[in-house]
Structure 1
Amino acid sequence: MRIDAYNAVSQVYQANATSNVKGVGKVASANDKFEISDVAKTYATAKSAVASAPDVREDKIADIKARIAAGTYQVSASDVADKIINTVSTLTF
């Protein structure tokens, strides 16, 4: 039996053992500051404005519903085709 190899392996494991280290770490000083950039403030303002805006424009929907009910709502086939072409052209495959 080779005791030498056992001692070498034991030394490797002892070398990799962790030890408790005290006093490591930084303490925030009185000079530390936290600042938010103007761009971040503007972004936050825009984000809250979008979040508070309604998802549906009720006034526009009511107008279209009234025009459909009255029979005066007309959609141009050319306008529909243009919208379809523009939508398809932005898709990526």
Structure 2
Amino acid sequence: MRVEAYNQVAQLYNREKTQKVQNTKQMSTGRDEVQISSMGRDYQIAKQAVADASDIREDRVAQLKERLDSGNYNVDMNDFANKLLEKYNALVK
């Protein structure tokens, strides 16, 4: 085994590695730029609108409170029982 040949190969390898790093440095002097499409902007606007919206529909709550207070709000017991069982079955699964 010749040690000199190994040293020569190692020197060549290190020289190429140095040149690659220098080339990369020369290329990276440019300025990065980001462009957002109109669809992306529309998505961000819609996302912000949903985040700003209230989870409670105040107009619907006021209407239901009014119906409860006046005694005009009736609940069908069968519908209530079915919904209750649906929620229970969803939790059990």
- Within the alignment, does 1:53 sit opposite 2:45 as a pair? no
Query: How far apart are 1:47 and its partner, in Å?
Result: 0.8
TM-score, normalised by the number of residues in structure 2 = 0.53
More helix by share: 2
Partner of 2:30: 28
Alpha carbons of 1:35 and 1:92: their partners in 2 closer, same or farther (altered >3 Å)? farther
Q: Which residue number corresponds to residue 14 of structure 2?
A: none
Matching residue's letter, 1:54 = S
User: Which residue is 2:62 aligned to?
Assistant: 62
Shift of 1:91: 5.8
Whole-Å separation in 1 of the counterparts to 2:48 and 2:71: 39
Q: Per-residue deviation at 1:86?
A: 4.8
CA distance in 2, matches of 1:42, 1:84: 39
Aligned counterpart, 2:10:
none
| Secondary structure of the structure 2 residue equivalent to 1:66 | helix
User: Distance in 2 between the 1:44 and 1:72 partners?
Assistant: 43
Number of aligned positions between the proteins: 71
Q: What is the one-letter code of the residue matched to 2:53?
A: A
Q: Which runs of 5+ in 1 are unaligned?
A: 1-20
Q: Percent identity?
A: 34
Structure 2 segments unaligned to the other structure (5+ residues): 1-17
Runs of 4+ in 1 over 4 A off after TM superposition: 21-24, 85-93
Find the aligned partners of 1:40 and 1:79 in 2 and give their Cα distance: 43
- Of 40-49 and 83-92, more deviation after overlay is shown by 83-92
Q: CA deviation at 1:80?
A: 2.5
